[in-house]
Amino acid sequence: MTVSIAKDKTRPVFPFTAIVGQEKMKLALILNVIDPKIGGVMIMGDRGTGKSTTIRAIADLLPKIEVVEDDLFNSHVSDYELMSDSVKNKIQKSENISTTFINVPMVDLPLGATEDRVCGTIDIEKALADGIKTFEPGLLAKANRGILYVDEVNLLDDHLVDILLDSAASGWNTVEREGISVRHPARFVLVGSGNPEEGELRPQLLDRFGMHAEIRTVKEPSMRVQIVEQRSKFDSDPYMCLQEFQEQQDNLKSSIIAAQQKLPSVTIDYDLRVKISEVCGILDVDGLRGDIVTNRAAKAYASYQGKDQVDIDDIKEVITLCLRHRLRKDPLETIDSGIKVEQVVENVFSIN
């Protein structure tokens, strides 16, 4: 009995490297982990295609992070951009700061969440009566330096989606109540998933997601059998399954860490940047977000491949994920937006 309770506490997660197929979704998640500034990923697909399983698996794969002990915001001990005001004050006063290592936060945002639950609240009564600014942190505080996952994001209130995207883009969350203001770091990878049958996100909101992966139910019989077998094996003995994939998990973890360290030194030629912008221009992509995200994603992919410089193949690998959701919807258009992006890319990059 004691053994089973101890095992239950660890709550094993399906190993990321054991997931069969859905390569584009997996790549989008890995690249966002390598460079969170890509801006998160929106995953749209049929029910039962492993969206939630894959998202939870990537969080479980990541190495532990060092945080300031007893801090509400998972503050970094030396990076000012990832540090709460109280930690900054301690550093300025040269106070001793103790740290601990925690798993990368994986925060689920429930559909019925209120703005206070997401952003946090200030206890106005205490502030007015005692002059103490008491902040009750929300989900954005818990998600700092981690992953914030919103399942069925297309059913979430637009106002909340706006708040999430603003925080993800700026890396900060500000709560203001009755003239009292609290600001804290909120840098996280925003991952949304949904089923297109339940409605699409507004184009303005969709455009704010860095990448967009569309996944379909696997049709290939042998691959379907492989997926079912893998799942059955995990359900019957999760610890044996985790052991089986431990080496692959460790190798992927090492590759991600190496890519994160290499990323700042990866370069992309001016000519390739021009071609990326040319593709965006031909596709009539509004704004410059598509250009920026494609450049970032190409660098992250090149870094993941161990390269010092981005080449055409790196761009081709990521550009559809970065642009397909930014194309204007034409109800009479018969061609898939992903194929449209690929065709333009082939034309532009084949011209010397």
> Which pLDDT score, from 0 to 100, does residue 162 have?
83
Question: So where are the chain's domains?
Answer: 19-62+103-215, 263-350
> Which pLDDT score, from 0 to 100, does residue 121 have?
85
User: Per residue in 265-321, pLDDT tens?
Assistant: 999 999 999 999 999 999 988 888 899 999 999 999 999 999 999 999 999 999 999
> Which pLDDT score, from 0 to 100, does residue 352 have?
54
| Alpha-helical regions (H) of 237-269 | 238-244, 246-262
Q: How far is CA 194 from CA 53, 144, 213, in A?
A: 13, 23, 11
| Alpha-helical regions (H) of the chain | 2-10, 23-34, 51-61, 85-92, 115-119, 124-130, 139-143, 158-170, 203-206, 221-236, 238-244, 246-262, 270-282, 289-304, 312-323, 337-350
User: Class of the 19-62+103-215 domain?
Assistant: alpha beta
> Which pLDDT score, from 0 to 100, does residue 251 have?
93
Cα dihedral angle (251, 48, 227, 223), rounded to 10 degrees?
-110
Distance between CA atoms of 119 and 174, rounded to whole angstroms?
A: 8
> Which pLDDT score, from 0 to 100, does residue 332 have?
52
Distance between CA atoms of 259 and 240, rounded to whole angstroms?
A: 29
Which strand (E) or helix (H) includes residue 108? strand 106-108
Distance between CA atoms of 290 and 297, rounded to whole angstroms?
A: 10
| Residue 308 burial by Cβ neighbours in a 10 Å radius (0-12, 13-18, 19+) | exposed
Task: Write 126-134 long-range contacts (CB < 8 A, 24+).
Answer: 127/178, 127/180, 133/180, 133/182
Which strand (E) or helix (H) includes residue 45? strand 41-45
pLDDT per residue rounded down to tens, the chain (352 residues):
344 434 444 578 888 988 887 888 999 999 999 998 898 899 988 777 778 888 888 888 888 888 888 888 888 888 888 888 888 888 888 888 888 898 888 898 888 888 888 988 877 766 666 666 677 888 999 999 899 998 888 888 888 888 888 888 888 888 887 777 788 888 888 898 888 777 777 777 788 889 998 887 777 888 888 888 888 888 888 888 889 989 999 999 999 999 999 999 999 999 999 999 999 999 988 888 899 999 999 999 999 999 999 999 999 999 999 998 888 776 555 456 778 888 888 888 886 5
Catalytic positions are 289
Distance between CA atoms of 99 and 33, rounded to whole angstroms?
A: 23
Distance between CA atoms of 32 and 55, rounded to whole angstroms?
A: 12
- Reference 259, options 221, 299, 303, 223; nearest CA is 303
CATH 2.60.40.420 for the 263-350 domain, yes or no: no
> Which pLDDT score, from 0 to 100, does residue 263 have?
94
User: Per residue in 122-154, pLDDT tens?
Assistant: 777 666 666 666 778 889 999 998 999 988 888
> Which pLDDT score, from 0 to 100, does residue 208 have?
81
